[in-house]
C-alpha cells in the first residue's frame, strides 16, 4: 500500500456542547482525487479546517503531509495548497504579480518563483497573458489560475473548496482536466463539491452526515453498496437520513 | 397580459455588456428558469426587473407596468430574493419578518397562511438572530420575507447556489407549491439539472439567451447522435476519443464520457480504434442527451 498523505483517527471538534465533527477516521493516499461530500451543516467545513491546520481538533490524532494535526498546524499550512470557494487572487495585480506574491508568501526564492511561474503558465498555454490584470480575465481563466497558484509551492496535497461553483459546464470540465493532470503527476487532490457528477470523477468519495463519515469508497463501490444508479442517488439516500437540521 | 415581458433589454457597465439584447416573456402563473453560469447576466436582469437599475436600451414590463416609468407600482407587487443574503443579521428571525411586513404596510398574520409551509420550518428559531442561522434556514427566512406582502411575481436570484442536493430539491418543492397558488416565478440557477423543475427555461451565457423552451423540447432539440463511453483509463480515453474521426466532441459526464458523434461514427469501429491505441476495455452505449449536453453544444457553436 502506498503511503497515506492524510491519515486521521477519531478526529473530533466540539464547540461548547455541540459536536461538529464526531470521531472521523480515514486515509487519503498519494495521487488520489479524494471527494469530500456532505449535506450543508454535516461538518465538512469544520473537518476541512482541521485538516488544513486552521483549527485544532478537540481530540483524536493524525497527520497531514507528514505533520501532526494536533500540534503542527503552522507547518501543515505551509506544506499544503488551498483554493477557497471565494475567488482570492488580487484583481488589480497582473497574472505574473499574483504568482510572485503567492510564491513569496510561501517563502520561495525569486529565481525559483520565476521559473515555477513560467512552467505553470506554459502548461496552461497562458504565457501571453502574464502581464494582464487578473480582474479583466474571464471567470474560467481566473478559476484555472487560482488552481495553479494553489500549487505554486509544489505542495504534495491541494485542498479545493467547491472550486467549480457557478462555472459554466465547459469550463467546469476543463477545470477537472487540470485536476486529473495534477493527480497524474502525483499531486493529491482533496475536493468538495455540490455537483454530484463531479463526485463520479473522484478516485474515492467520503460522505459526511451529522458530523460523521457515513460512507467512504470508490464511486463504483458506493453505487453498488447503496444499490444506486448514480452518486446523486447515493448522496440523497444518506443525506435524507440526516438528523441534524442544517 | 403576461407576468413579465422583456424586449431587447441591454445593460452595460463601462466596456462590459452584462445584458445583450435579451427578450422573453413569462406567462402568468409560470415557473420560469434562467439557467446559466456566473457572468450570464442573470443578476443584472433581476436588478433591472426589480427596478434597482435602469436599462441602457430596450424595455420591460412586470404585470403590465414599465420598469422605468412605473417603478413604484412594480415594487409593491414583486417579491425579490437577491443572491446575497440581504436581511438584517442582527435582527431576529421574527424581527426581520415584522420589519419587512411593516415596510409594505401589512402584518405577518395577513400573509401567514401563504408563508406557513416555509416559515413553520424555522419558527422554532424565531428569536435567533438571522446572522446565526445556517444557510438553509437563511434561505427560508429570505423567502418568507419576500412573500410577506403577497407579491404577484417572485424574483429569486440563485436561491439554491451552494446548497446541498437534498435541500435544493426541497426548495424546488416549495416553489411548486407557490406556483400552485398563482404566483408567477422567475428563478435563476447555475445547476443545469434544476431545469427540469421549471415550466420553461432560458439557457443564458455571457449576457445572451442561447435558447428558450420547455425543458423537454430543449432536450429534444439535441440533433446529433450521443454516446456514453467508458473504460478503466478514463483520462486516456478522453484524449484519444477526441482525436477519433467519428467524434465531434468528447467530455466527462459523471461516470462516463459523452461522445457527440458525426455520421462516420460506428460503435464497433470506435472500440477497435481505441483498442489499437492500447485501451482494450472500452464500452460504448447510446446516451440520452440532457440540458447540460445541449448547453455545451450551444456554447461551442
pLDDT at A2: 65
Does residue A196 form part of some domain? yes
Sign of the C-alpha dihedral computed for residues A121, A127, A133 and A138 taken in this order: negative
How many domains are there within chain A? Answer: 1
Chain B residues near residue A86 by CB distance under 8 angstroms? none
- Do the Cβ atoms of B166 and A170 come within 8 Å? no
List, in order of start, the domains of chain B with CATH numbers. 4-220 (3.40.50.300), 226-300 (3.30.70)
Euclidean distance between CA atoms A170 and B295, whole angstroms: 9
Angle, CA A29 vertex, CA A27 and CA A30 arms, to 5°: 150
Place of cell 470540465: A173
C-alpha grid cell, residue A195: 455537483
Helix A95-105 and helix A139-150, axial crossing angle in degrees, nearest 10: 30
Averaged over B33-60, what is the pLDDT? 96
Does residue A125 form part of some domain? no
C-alpha grid cell, residue A79: 506544506
Contacts of A206 (CB under 8 A, 6+ apart): A26, A34, A35, A36, A37, A213, A215, A216
Distance from CA of B242 to the nearest CA of A (A): 13
Domain containing A207: what range? Answer: 4-88+156-164+171-240
Does residue A203 form part of some domain? yes
- Do the Cβ atoms of B162 and A170 come within 8 Å? no
Does residue A9 form part of some domain? yes
Averaged over B235-261, what is the pLDDT? 94
Sign of the C-alpha dihedral computed for residues B249, B250, B253 and B256 taken in this order: positive
Say which of B165, B296, B300 has its CB closest to residue A194: B165
Angle, CA A80 vertex, CA A78 and CA A81 arms, to 5°: 110
- Do the Cβ atoms of A165 and B190 come within 8 Å? yes
Q: How confident is the model at residue A181 (pLDDT cuts 50, 70, 90)?
A: confident
pLDDT at residue B29 tops 70: yes
pLDDT at A246: 52
The per-residue pLDDT of chain B, averaged, comes to: 95
- Do the Cβ atoms of B134 and A41 come within 8 Å? yes
Residues composing chain B: 301
Q: What is the DSSP letter of A153?
A: T
C-alpha R_g of chain A: 18
Residue of B122, B136, B161, B252 best to disrupt the A interface, most CBs of A under 10 A: B252
Residue of B166, B188, B293 best to disrupt the A interface, most CBs of A under 10 A: B166
Q: What share of chain B in percent tops pLDDT 70?
A: 100
Does residue A124 form part of some domain? no
Does residue A69 form part of some domain? yes
Contacts of B21 (CB under 8 A, 6+ apart): B8, B9, B10, B57, B58, B208
- Do the Cβ atoms of A219 and B255 come within 8 Å? yes
pLDDT at residue A1 tops 60: no
- Do the Cβ atoms of B238 and A38 come within 8 Å? no
Which pairs with CB-CB distance under 8 Å and at least 24 residues apart come from B70-76?
Answer: B74/B49, B74/B50, B75/B50, B75/B51, B76/B104, B76/B149
Chain A residues near residue B37 by CB distance under 8 angstroms? 139, 166-169, 171
Say which of B162, B235, B299 has its CB closest to residue A180: B235
Does residue A150 form part of some domain? no
**B194-208 tens-digit pLDDT:** 999 999 999 999 999
Looking at per-residue pLDDT, the higher value among A127 and B84 belongs to A127
Distance from CA of A59 to the nearest CA of B (A): 25
Euclidean distance between CA atoms B69 and B47, whole angstroms: 15
Q: What is the DSSP letter of A16?
A: T
The CATH number for A41's domain is 3.40.50.300
Say which of B134, B253, B295 has its CB closest to residue A40: B134
Does residue A120 form part of some domain? no
Among chain A residues, the shortest Cα distance to B194 is held by A195
Amino acid at each position: 500500500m502506498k503511503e497515506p498523505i492524510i491519515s486521521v483517527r477519531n478526529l473530533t471538534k466540539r464547540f461548547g456542547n455541540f459536536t461538529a465533527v464526531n470521531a472521523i477516521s480515514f486515509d487519503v493516499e498519494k495521487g488520489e482525487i479524494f471527494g469530500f461530500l456532505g449535506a450543508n451543516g454535516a461538518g465538512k467545513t469544520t473537518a476541512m479546517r482541521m485538516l488544513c491546520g486552521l483549527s485544532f481538533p478537540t481530540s483524536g490524532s493524525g497527520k497531514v503531509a507528514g505533520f501532526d494535526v494536533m500540534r503542527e498546524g503552522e507547518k501543515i499550512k505551509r506544506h499544503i495548497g488551498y483554493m477557497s470557494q471565494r475567488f482570492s487572487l488580487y484583481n488589480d495585480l497582473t497574472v505574473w504579480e499574483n504568482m510572485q506574491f503567492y510564491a513569496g508568501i510561501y517563502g520561495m526564492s525569486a529565481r525559483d518563483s520565476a521559473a515555477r511561474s513560467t512552467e505553470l503558465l506554459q502548461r496552461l498555454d497562458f504565457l501571453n497573458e502574464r502581464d494582464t490584470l487578473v480582474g479583466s480575465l474571464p471567470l474560467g481563466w481566473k478559476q484555472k489560475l487560482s488552481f495553479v497558484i494553489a500549487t505554486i509551492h509544489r505542495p504534495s496535497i491541494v485542498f479545493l473548496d467547491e472550486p467549480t461553483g457557478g462555472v459554466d459546464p465547459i469550463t467546469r470540465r476543463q477545470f477537472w482536466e487540470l485536476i486529473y493532470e495534477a493527480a497524474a503527476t502525483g499531486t493529491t487532490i482533496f475536493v468538495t463539491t455540490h455537483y454530484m457528477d463531479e463526485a463520479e470523477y473522484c478516485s474515492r468519495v467520503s460522505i459526511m452526515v451529522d458530523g460523521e463519515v457515513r460512507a467512504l469508497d470508490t464511486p463504483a463501490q458506493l453505487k453498488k453498496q447503496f444499490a444506486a444508479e448514480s452518486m446523486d442517488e447515493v448522496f440523497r439516500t444518506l443525506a435524507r437520513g440526516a438528523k441534524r437540521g442544517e | 397580459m403576461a407576468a413579465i415581458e422583456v424586449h431587447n433589454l441591454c445593460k452595460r457597465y463601462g466596456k462590459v455588456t452584462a445584458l445583450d439584447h435579451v427578450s422573453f416573456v413569462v406567462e402568468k402563473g409560470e415557473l420560469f428558469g434562467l439557467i446559466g453560469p456566473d457572468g450570464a447576466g442573470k443578476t443584472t436582469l433581476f436588478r433591472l426587473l426589480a427596478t434597482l437599475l435602469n436599462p441602457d436600451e430596450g424595455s420591460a414590463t412586470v404585470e403590465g407596468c414599465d420598469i422605468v416609468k412605473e417603478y413604484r407600482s412594480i415594487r409593491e407587487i414583486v417579491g425579490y430574493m437577491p443572491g446575497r443574503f440581504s436581511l438584517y443579521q442582527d435582527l431576529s428571525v421574527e424581527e426581520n419578518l415584522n420589519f419587512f411586513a411593516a415596510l409594505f404596510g401589512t402584518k405577518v398574520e395577513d400573509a401567514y397562511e401563504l408563508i406557513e409551509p416555509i416559515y413553520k420550518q424555522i419558527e422554532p428559531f424565531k428569536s435567533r438572530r438571522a446572522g446565526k442561522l445556517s444557510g438553509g434556514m437563511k434561505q427560508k427566512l429570505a423567502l418568507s420575507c419576500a412573500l410577506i406582502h403577497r407579491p404577484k411575481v417572485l424574483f429569486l436570484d440563485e436561491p439554491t447556489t451552494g446548497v446541498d442536493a437534498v435541500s435544493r430539491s426541497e426548495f424546488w418543492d416549495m416553489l411548486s407549491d407557490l406556483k400552485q397558488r398563482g404566483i408567477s416565478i422567475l428563478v435563476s440557477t447555475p445547476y443545469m439539472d434544476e431545469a427540469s423543475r421549471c415550466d420553461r427555461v432560458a439557457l443564458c451565457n455571457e449576457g445572451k439567451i442561447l435558447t428558450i423552451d420547455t425543458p423537454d423540447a430543449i432536450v429534444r432539440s439535441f440533433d446529433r447522435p450521443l454516446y456514453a463511453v467508458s473504460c478503466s483509463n478514463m483520462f486516456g480515453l478522453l484524449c484519444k476519443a477526441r482525436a477519433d474521426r467519428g467524434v465531434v466532441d468528447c467530455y466527462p459526464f459523471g461516470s462516463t464520457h459523452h461522445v457527440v458523434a458525426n455520421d462516420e461514427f460506428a460503435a464497433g469501429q470506435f472500440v477497435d480504434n481505441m483498442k489499437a491505441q492500447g485501451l482494450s476495455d472500452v464500452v460504448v452505449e447510446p446516451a440520452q442527451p440532457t440540458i447540460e449536453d445541449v448547453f455545451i453544444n450551444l456554447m461551442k457553436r
